[in-house]
Amino acid sequence: MEGAASAKELARTGDRPSVKASPRPSWSFSIKRGALAAAVVALLGILAFAATREATMTSRAPSPALSQPGSTAPQRPAFTRAEEAYIQALWPIHGDVERSAVRVSLGNIFYKINELGKADLKARVENALATYQGAEKRIGALQPPPSFAPAHDEYLAAVRLFQQSAVEVLKMFDDGNDEHLLVAYPLSQEGSNKIREVGVKFWQD
């Protein structure tokens, strides 16, 4: 039989049926692409969170914190009308500052992994600086109740730190030295920590 004869012939000659090697699986993303994708997901998550909070803040009425049965944690006193009005006025400013800070941070990451050019990074930082400067004026025009005066001053200090950080980054486009990014980072990080502390006091929920 032809099939049996072929098998015997292969055994006699020592040949083996040829088998095509399957190609190696290719990775769909490089390390840089993975970092880019993760950064974009993080940005979308932050923006979605901010949008959701903005929608809830516009309809939120002052109410005392609810306690769980058997809980021994002290209740936070309800905000006064003046405190609630201040929080409502600060919220849109906070959203602008937070979004600008995130855009600059991601811009720095994209720039370092060669996913964003210098011109685009410069535009981001310049826009952010304008936002920070506008936020400083808007916050300065607010009249915080005495109980919020320390938090008000702390938030202003945070916005000024963001401004200093942005100015430092912009120096890179004058002298071409990327080391300005390293100098700017601690300033923006300290600013982020400050607004986070204020946010915990105002927007615990």
pLDDT score recorded for residue 118: 94
* Number of structural domains the chain divides into: 1
For 62-119, the DSSP string reads --PPP--TT--SPPPPPPPHHHHHHHHHHHHHHHHHHHHHHHHHHHHHHHHTTSS-HH
For 147-176, the DSSP string reads GGHHHHHHHHHHHHHHHHHHHHHHHHHHH-
Tell me the CA distances in angstroms from 113 to 50, 53, 110, 128, one per residue in order.
Answer: 27, 32, 5, 21
Considering the domain boundaries, does residue 74 fall inside one? no
Higher pLDDT, 138 or 73: 138
The rounded distance, in Å, linking the Cα atoms of 62 and 81 is 8
pLDDT score recorded for residue 29: 43
User: Does residue 37 contact residue 110 with C-beta atoms inside 8 Å?
Assistant: no
What value, to the nearest 5°, has the Cα angle with vertex 84 and ends 160 and 161? 10
Is the pLDDT at 18 greater than 80, yes or no? Answer: no
pLDDT score recorded for residue 73: 52
List the CATH number of the domain containing 165.
1.20.120
Question: Given pLDDT bands bounded at 50, 70 and 90, which one contains residue 136?
Answer: very high
Both ends of the chain: CA-CA distance in Å? 82
Report yes or no on whether pTM surpasses 0.85.
no
The rounded distance, in Å, linking the Cα atoms of 109 and 86 is 34
Long-range contacts made by residues 118-127, C-beta under 8 angstroms, separation at least 24? Answer: 118/173, 121/169, 122/170, 122/173, 125/166, 125/169, 125/170, 126/166, 126/170, 127/100, 127/103
pLDDT score recorded for residue 74: 59
Element (H, E) at 186: helix 179-202
Is the pLDDT at 178 greater than 50, yes or no? Answer: yes
Q: Mind listing the pLDDT tens digit for each residue in 20-59?
A: 444 444 443 444 454 444 444 444 444 444 443 444 444 4
Considering the domain boundaries, does residue 110 fall inside one? yes
Question: Given pLDDT bands bounded at 50, 70 and 90, which one contains residue 77?
Answer: confident
Is the pLDDT at 144 greater than 60, yes or no? Answer: yes
What value, to the nearest 5°, has the Cα angle with vertex 149 and ends 146 and 150? 130
Range of the domain at 154: 31-57+80-202
